Amino acid sequence: MTDKLGIVTTASLEKGVDVRLDAPVSVEDMVVGRYVTIEGQKRRFFGMITDVRLGVTDERLAVSPPDVNDPFIAEVLSGTSTFGQIHVTPMLTIGGDAKSMLEGPQPVKTIPAHFCAVNLATEDDIERVFGKEDPQRFNIGNPLDMETKLCLNLEEFVKRSNGIFGKSGTGKTFLTRILLIGILQKSKAVNLIFDMHNEYGWQGTSEGGPPVKGLKQLFQSKVAVFTLDEENSRRRGVSTDFVVKIGYDEIEPEDIVLLRQTLNLTEPAVEAVYQLRRRFGKSWLQNVLDIEGGEDTKELLDSMSIHESSFQNLKRGLATIRRLPFIQPHAPVDAVKNILDHLDKGINVVLEFGRYRDITAYVLVANMLARRIYSQYQSRTEKAMAESVAPPNPLVITIEEAHKFLNPEVSSQTIFGTIAREMRKYNVSLLVIDQRPSGIDSEVMSQMGTKITCLLDNERDIDSVLAGVSGKNELKSVLARLAPKQQALIFGHAVPMPVAFQPREYGSAKSYKDFTSAGKSSASTGTGKDIEKLWE
Amino acid sequence: MSPKIAEVIEADTASFVAQCYELYELPPLGALVKTGDIYGIVCHAETAGMEPGRKPIARGRDEASEAAVYESSPQLLKLLRSEFTASAVGYQDGNKIYQYLPPQPARIHGFIYLCQPDEVKEFSKNFGFLNILINAALTAPTEELIAAALRQMSGVQEDSHAFLVAAGKELANLLSNDFIKLKNILGRLKIK
Ligand SMILES: Nc1ncnc2c1ncn2[C@@H]1O[C@H](COP(=O)(O)OP(=O)(O)OP(=O)(O)O)[C@@H](O)[C@H]1O
Ligand SMILES: [Mg+2]
């Protein structure tokens, strides 16, 4: 098959380009999301197929259709009176002269002339736009229906907060694991992963297949697994590096605010937390839990004008927290300090939640730890600037169920909302994973640098992911037609143009071998023998 | 070269009229003929009395067969004549065939030859003549004529199916705004 598809028949900067397919090209081979190039007279255009249509030259054909059972008639009409059309959304151009070749791909500001040839994009084209695998660029998969490697510049990627979306079972976790490996190998950033379902650290599950290796199995010396549930981790055969306990005095009112819904707290009950914090200081939680009913209590509450029913409501909520086994009056070791020590050494930290997969535990712990780590980063970055010493390693924090932290009601109050909005002022950015992006504050969504989305079928989710993207309607049709698994659309800061792609396969012995050998620093992942063993 | 079959008796830019040397020895509708350097496609034919205004009269009442009519009146062969009109569809200049209207009309008394398979094959490498036929002022329906011409040409091709498909596609482009006409022609291209 030749790669020439057809010719440009109409075009507008706003609406895109219509291409009439040549007769030998079957419309059924044209799938949305594929890349094409248009050979303009002075420049080449790169674009994506965003619609496929059938055309007729004479409307009467549709009214009184020819006898298509006659193969002769069908053959004559195909590509002439009846023809395929594709709609292409141009995304980039490369000028023909030497200077523009050096400048590389530029945004589209014009359209190709009439009847310019349209070709399937070649491997070289993709490489010219997205770059080759190199010390910063990491292969994340192939563009749809192409063998070419699609590379992502991870140094650019981690400069902003990013999002991974898609409905359940579409491959978000697998994709995230791939990106984390990329960040670990090809950027200066370190990862802190709040691993709600214990899938990143040691071992993850795969639908209908054997378990897949987690980060630590592949990069032993660069990953530490922290756990909230030592017993569970041990039972799963995970070699953990640290057991996290959280003291009462580490919990702040803003952690409770986030839990308002899950703990069924009323508005006044949440208000009361702030008052109690002011009153009792750091040990407020212990104090509240200690308060028994009685005259004294009534007086105390009256003095803070807290209503008895609000207080009871709050107490019931706090009791839920207290029942979490990793919450203790006093934490024996400072988890935050330990995490920071690892991060400073360039070691990625995965925090497993063990059996405590309910959202209360996740929200509470992730928010609390992130808040304190962030404040450390903040002061250290400021100090570094003032004294012109090296700032801490750039940090990427991965959270699942991101809408719990970033919904419009709470996003202004949580640390994650702050990080998302500050665009890496203090060397910290987010990698958020969510099934329901419409639940995330639109302002936070708009701050995300790069978005990668697997299939979404809810209209509101699609709208929220694509909000503010140029060519939104066209991308919408691409997004809505992704395969239900292991296909995604990436767009935003770190890629020169949107591209639908198939993430790399993760889970086979060969995939592990490819992943572990890709990094420039693969030598430090352990002894040669270790690595050999991993591939078995 | 094949024997001459007729002689030009009337000619203009777009067509020429010829009289056959033998009564009823007409080339078929759609046949490719040549006079001088000019190619034509037979688009109309008639047989009538020699003298304008004098119609033949019925003669067969007492004859056993049609052939007997002619046998008993041998003068008929002199009184009747067969004529055909060819639409000019191209000309030869040196070694090249151009499928345009000829620069000059055919010459009166020019001899007319029926093109042989090789020549038909050479001529039909190009489909420019289709457009001339579509736009010609013809007495026979255009669809019929084009279909007849293509059927005959297909007979001399190595791959007649491929030839008809290619011609069909050319027609589809020329008749992009008249699907009904296209459909009528395509429907008439089948030989079997
Ligand atoms: N890159 C990949 N390589 C191999 N298998 C994959 C890949 N992506 C997805 N899969 C398959 O699809 C299944 C679902 O993927 P995954 O667990 O990542 O979905 P998810 O979007 O995280 O779902 P949930 O929202 O329920 O957490 C996996 O168990 C695996 O079998
Ligand atoms: Mg998942």
- pTM here is 0.79
User: What percent of chain A has a predicted confidence (pLDDT) above 90?
Assistant: 49
Question: Which pLDDT band holds residue A534 (cuts at 50, 70, 90)?
Answer: low
Residues A416-437 as b/e (b if ≥16 CB within 10 A, e otherwise) read bbbbbbeebebbbbbbbbbbbb
**pLDDT (0 to 100) of residue A518:** 67
Q: Nearest ligand to the C-alpha of residue A171? A: 1
> Is B192 within a domain?
no
Q: What tens digit of pLDDT does each residue of A156-179 get?
A: 999 999 999 999 999 999 999 999
Whole-number Cα distances in Å, A13 to A17, A106, A108: 8, 15, 8
* Residue A323 or residue B19, greater confidence: B19
Contacts of residue B186 in chain A, CB cutoff 8 Å? 66, 72-73, 76
DSSP, collapsed to helix, strand or coil, labels residue B33 as strand
Q: Where are the alpha helices (DSSP H) in chain B?
A: 66-72, 76-79, 117-123, 128-135, 142-154, 160-174, 179-187
CA A179 to ligand 1 center in whole angstroms? 14
**pLDDT (0 to 100) of residue A522:** 41
Dihedral angle computed from the Cα positions of residues A272, A274, A275 and A280, in that order, rounded to the nearest 10 degrees? 120
Contact across the interface for B165 and A61, Cβ inside 8 Å: no
Q: Across residues B111-117, what is the average pLDDT?
A: 96
The residue type found at A419 is I
Q: How far is B116 from chain A (nearest CA, A)?
A: 27
Q: Across residues A199-209, what is the average pLDDT?
A: 89
User: What percent of chain B has a predicted confidence (pLDDT) above 90?
Assistant: 80
Q: Across residues B134-158, what is the average pLDDT?
A: 94
**pLDDT (0 to 100) of residue A123:** 86
Question: Which pLDDT band holds residue A535 (cuts at 50, 70, 90)?
Answer: low
**pLDDT (0 to 100) of residue A519:** 56
**pLDDT (0 to 100) of residue B163:** 95
**pLDDT (0 to 100) of residue A524:** 43
Q: Is the pLDDT of residue A285 over 70?
A: yes
Q: Using CB atoms, pick whichever of B165, B180, B190 lies closest to residue A75.
A: B165
Structure tokens at A401: 């169920």
Structure tokens at A336: 């935050």
Q: Is the pLDDT of residue A432 over 80?
A: yes
Q: What is the mean pLDDT of chain B?
A: 93
Question: Which pLDDT band holds residue A521 (cuts at 50, 70, 90)?
Answer: very low
Q: Is the pLDDT of residue A463 over 70?
A: yes
For the structural domain made of A153-245+333-533, what CATH number should be given?
Answer: 3.40.50.300
Question: Which pLDDT band holds residue B21 (cuts at 50, 70, 90)?
Answer: very high
Q: In total, how many domains does chain B have?
A: 1
Q: Is the pLDDT of residue B95 over 80?
A: yes
Question: Which pLDDT band holds residue A119 (cuts at 50, 70, 90)?
Answer: very high
**pLDDT (0 to 100) of residue B1:** 64
Contact across the interface for A72 and B186, Cβ inside 8 Å: yes
Q: Is the pLDDT of residue B149 over 80?
A: yes
User: What ipTM was assigned to the predicted interfaces of this complex?
Assistant: 0.84
Spell out the SS3 assignment of A144-189. CCCCCCEEEEHHHHCCCCEEEECCCCCCHHHHHHHHHHHHHHHCCC
Q: What is the mean pLDDT of chain A?
A: 88
Q: Using CB atoms, pick whichever of B165, B182, B189 lies closest to residue A81.
A: B182
Q: Is the pLDDT of residue A449 over 60?
A: yes
Residue with tokens 């041998």: B74
> Is B158 within a domain?
yes
Atom of ligand 1 nearest to the CA of A197: 27
- State which residues form the domain around B177: 4-187
Q: What tens digit of pLDDT does each residue of A360-410 get?
A: 889 889 999 999 999 999 999 999 989 988 889 999 999 998 998 899 988
Q: Across residues B26-50, what is the average pLDDT?
A: 95
Q: Is the pLDDT of residue A104 over 80?
A: no
Q: Using CB atoms, pick whichever of A64, A75, A80 lies closest to residue B173.
A: A80
Q: Nearest ligand to the C-alpha of residue A485? A: 1
> Among all residues of chain B, which has the CA nearest to that of A72?
B165
Q: Is the pLDDT of residue B183 over 60?
A: yes
DSSP, collapsed to helix, strand or coil, labels residue A210 as strand
Question: Which pLDDT band holds residue A523 (cuts at 50, 70, 90)?
Answer: very low
Q: Is the pLDDT of residue A133 over 50?
A: yes
Question: Which pLDDT band holds residue A526 (cuts at 50, 70, 90)?
Answer: very low
> Is B131 within a domain?
yes
